[in-house]
A and B are shown apart, each in its own frame.
Chain A
Amino acid sequence: MNEEDLIFIPQRWDLKFHHAAGETGTRFFKAIMEQKEILGKKCPKCKRVLLPPRSFCERCFVETTEWMKIGSEGTIQAFTIVYEKFEGLPDPPYAIAYVLLDGANTAMANFVKGIDLSDIKKAFKRIKIGAKVQVAFRKKRQGRITDFWYELK
């Protein structure tokens, strides 16, 4: 059959969800919203401070117990700068980094803002593994991971 004779059926998935952040996630987001504070959770066994906080340690398979205040500065552990437009995702360019914030043992992902990404060579000279960053908070916070981002120091 000729390609132009074939029939196509257009379909669209547009499903609503109302995801619970859970008690642990809620406490983390509330501290960001109300105190501009980042909280991690410590494993009583291996003593790692997990960030973002989780109610359990996957290595020790025990519940985490202690909430810990995490510093607002840290270092980039991994990054990417996105220059491609992906349907349904933000308009490029944007940078994402995993940052090990002071006092945490695991790195947390977020956008890196406040830097001109238009010149890729200049951008990746500044955004690199080991670079120091500072957390910046949104003025109107809603209890989302995007309530904050990283800025290069």
Chain B
Amino acid sequence: MKPRNIGIIGVGQTKYVTRRDDVTLPELAREAAVLALEDAGIAFNDLDGMVFSLALDALEGTEGAERWCADAVGGRRIPFIRVHTGGATGGSATHAGFLHIASGLFDCILVIGAEKMGETPDAQKVLNQIFDPVYERSVAINAVNMCSFQAARHMKKYGTTEYQMALVAVRSRKNALRNPHAHIRKEIKVEDVLTSRVICYPLKLYDCCPRSTGACAVVIASEKFIKKLGKKNIAWIKGIAACTGTYYMGDRMDGSSANDHADADGLFLAAKRAYQMAGIDNPRKEIDVAEIYAPFTSTELAAVEALGFCGKGESGKYNEKGLFDMEGGIPVNPSGGVLTANPISVTALARVAEASLQVTGKAGERQVSKSKTAVATGEGGSLQFYTVTVLSNKT
């Protein structure tokens, strides 16, 4: 169990956009580092370690781009590691930062990353390369159709409709209007989603996230460090857990109920473990707000079920009832979520950053009132790597 109280004391995010031609990748990462240190009220030499959140090298076009970035984010003279679990990278990087401090060997860690995928014309060619060269890559599988398979299966298994999926897109876009960092800030109607062009059936254009450029950072510190700093209003990390599913998606299609590609079963297990660590028995009652890694509308449907906000197959119905709206029982992605900004290397880190802002009441116009406990997720690989982080304004 958790040996020390550990909290997030600073958050830094750039605005997420299509391209940033005025800066290089390290210069972009530096922006978030400076913002996070400023927010924490510390100097770069207060850090005693660094975790760099960087997903696919080929998206940046630089092998091991963390090397290029280390100086720019203040990494000189301290331990520095890079974490990569695909889409879950930012969640895993957060956990790595937490574990550094939980070990007792470190007191203040910067978790930082940047994404500049706007410099390559099509990310899906790169995302096709994540599949094994022997059995699956030549079948043109990429990140969009891997989620289409999940969507198709969720629709078949539970009767989930394209209309219910569209509601997720509409809500995300609406929420993003209140988030100055969001990449896509344009409201849409259900009709717009349903009539948008088909990308990979059943996913249509507005069911899909954009490709974003941007940087994000959080400062994680021990209670000892926080007390010395005299800092109040902390996003305490109450629970962390991760879970890995099988690599081959086809292995999740044998009809066994505990392991189905329709569901985010790995996320279910990760959430269960994180809730247990955080002492949460009833997530539906005890979680006030969720920032969920869901690059497609259908991904969010499976995720809210896995997080225990509703039963398996019920998410479509509860979306219709507005349970996940800003004024609903459990607001999901008040930031607009991944559907309105997906800078892959830091997308899951941005979920943690946003959840941290929510529990400390610093989320500005997108603040969910009275949010004391928040959950942030990450999802990477072939819907395979899952991370869950529970934050609270109390130790």
- In the complex the two chains form, is B246's CB within 8 Å of A58's CB? yes
B58, B138, B261 interface centre (most CB from chain A within 10 Å): B138
List residues 79-98 of chain A with CB under 8 A from any CB of chain B. Answer: 79-84, 86-90, 94, 96, 98
Report which of A3, A100, A145, A146 forms a contact with B254, defined as CB distance below 8 A. A100
Q: Does B148 contact A (CB under 8 A)?
A: yes
**Distance (Å) between the CB of A92 and the closest chain B CB?**
9
Which residues of the partner chain A approach B250 to less than 8 Å between Cβ atoms? 51-52, 77, 98, 106-109
Q: Which residue from chain B places its CB closest to the CB of A86 in the assembled complex?
A: B124
Closest to A146 in B: B138
Asked if A114 is an interface residue, CB under 8 A from chain B, the answer is: no
> Do B254 and A8 have beta carbons less than 8 Å apart?
no
**B78 is an interface residue with CB less than 8 A from chain A:** no
> Are A80's CB and B152's CB within 8 A?
yes
Which 7 pairs of residues, A with B, have the shortest CB-CB distance? A87-B122, A88-B125, A80-B148, A107-B250, A78-B149, A77-B253, A86-B124
- Report the minimal beta-carbon distance from A28 to chain B, rounded to whole angstroms: 8
Closest beta carbon of chain B to A126's beta carbon, Å: 12
Cβ-defined partner of A80 (8 Å) among B121, B135, B201: B201
Bound: A81/B140 CA distance, A: 11
Q: Contact: A25 with B135, CB < 8 Å?
A: yes
B128 contacts chain A at the CB level, 8 A cutoff = yes
The answer to whether A98 touches B249 (Cβ under 8 A) is yes
**B295 CB, min distance to chain A CBs, angstroms:** 15
Indicate if the CB atoms of A79 and B198 lie closer than 8 Å: no
List 30 A–B pairs whose Cβ atoms lie within 8 Å, in order of A's numbering: A6-B21, A17-B133, A25-B135, A51-B250, A58-B247, A58-B251, A59-B246, A78-B152, A79-B152, A81-B200, A82-B199, A82-B201, A83-B198, A83-B200, A83-B201, A84-B198, A86-B144, A87-B121, A88-B124, A89-B125, A89-B142, A94-B140, A98-B250, A98-B253, A106-B248, A109-B136, A120-B201, A123-B201, A129-B153, A146-B139
A35 at the interface (CB under 8 A from B): no
Nearest Cβ on chain A to B208's Cβ, whole angstroms: 9
Q: A-side binding surface: helix, strand, loop or mixed?
A: loop
The smallest beta-carbon distance between A100 and chain B, in angstroms, is: 6
Q: In whole angstroms, what is the CA distance A91 to B22 when docked?
A: 34
1/0 per residue, CB under 8 A from A, across B136-173: the answer is: 10111110110011101100100000000000000000
Taking CB atoms, residues of chain B closer than 8 Å to A100 are 253-254
CB pair A87–B125 under 8 Å, yes or no, is yes
Q: How far is the CB of A129 from chain B (nearest CB, A)?
A: 4
Q: Which residue of A lies closest to B61 (CB)?
A: A11
Q: Which residue of B lies closest to A123 (CB)?
A: B201
Instruction: Tell me how far the C-beta of B219 lies from the nearest C-beta in chain A, rounded to whole angstroms.
Output: 31
The reply on B1 being an interface residue by CB < 8 A is no
